Structure 1
Amino acid sequence: MKILAANRLTDGETVWLGAGDCWVESIDAAHVARDKEDEERLLAVGKGGLASNQVIDVTLVDIETVEGRIHPLRLRERIRAGGPSIHPDLGKQARLNARSAA
């Protein structure tokens, strides 16, 4: 299973491609690709976002679901989902629903 991550150009925020091919700020709202065809579709939409200067660093992210929530397999992606690891008062981790990176 995979999701598509990127960084929004206007503010650098990590975003994920969600339902309706909209960029969302919560990893839990990301569309989960369950087969190769869906992964290719996500990448095509991401490349469109890159070409239209909406996002950069478009990346397919390997995930698993844990208790119904999306959990990236790589630490880098868990940190991107939670926000800067040195300032708990800034970024996504400052929001009530944020999860710990580790």
Structure 2
Amino acid sequence: MARAFSPKVVTANDLLEGDVIYQTEDDRWSRELSEAELITDEAHAQVRLLDAARQANKIVGAYLADAVDGDNGPEPAHFREDFRRTGPSNYAHGKQESSSQPRA
């Protein structure tokens, strides 16, 4: 028996800067997961992923990531995505540099 579809967001990396980005409902790319379109329909998710794949001049590595509806918009449903949105883990720069929490 097939598993039920769980909500998703379309995520990728910015082609020029490498930052994690998320597709918004109004077809922008945002560095904030809370602005991402939370997709609850499997067919719509596949269409949005195809839309993203056509933007090879802006993004790389688009895929659907599990998410849940949080108080301020989508939240990661898996540790990997939570970790990924904080930026590179090798040293503090970018998002981590402005964060109040130090990273190991």
Q: TM-score range by the shorter chain?
A: 0.7 to 0.9
Is the contact between residue 82 and residue 100 of structure 1 (CA under 8 Å) also seen in structure 2? no
Q: What is the letter of the counterpart of residue 93 of structure 1? A: Q
CA RMSD of aligned residues (A): 2.5
1:3 aligns with 2:6: no
**Structure-2-length-normalised TM-score:** 0.77
Is the contact between residue 24 and residue 30 of structure 2 (CA under 8 Å) also seen in structure 1? yes
Higher share in helix = 1
Is the contact between residue 43 and residue 60 of structure 1 (CA under 8 Å) also seen in structure 2? yes
Alignment match of 2:79 (pick from 68, 75, 79): 75
Is the contact between residue 82 and residue 99 of structure 1 (CA under 8 Å) also seen in structure 2? no
**What is the aligned length?**
97
Note the residue ranges of structure 1 that are not aligned, 5 or more in a row: none
Is the contact between residue 65 and residue 81 of structure 2 (CA under 8 Å) also seen in structure 1? yes
Say which one has the larger Rg.
Answer: 2
**Structure-1-length-normalised TM-score:** 0.78
Decide whether aligned partners of structure 1 residues 74 and 25 sit closer, same or farther in structure 2, where only a CA change above 3 A counts: same
Identity of aligned residues (%): 24
Report the CA distance between 1:79 and its aligned residue: 1.4
SS of corresponding position for 2:11: strand
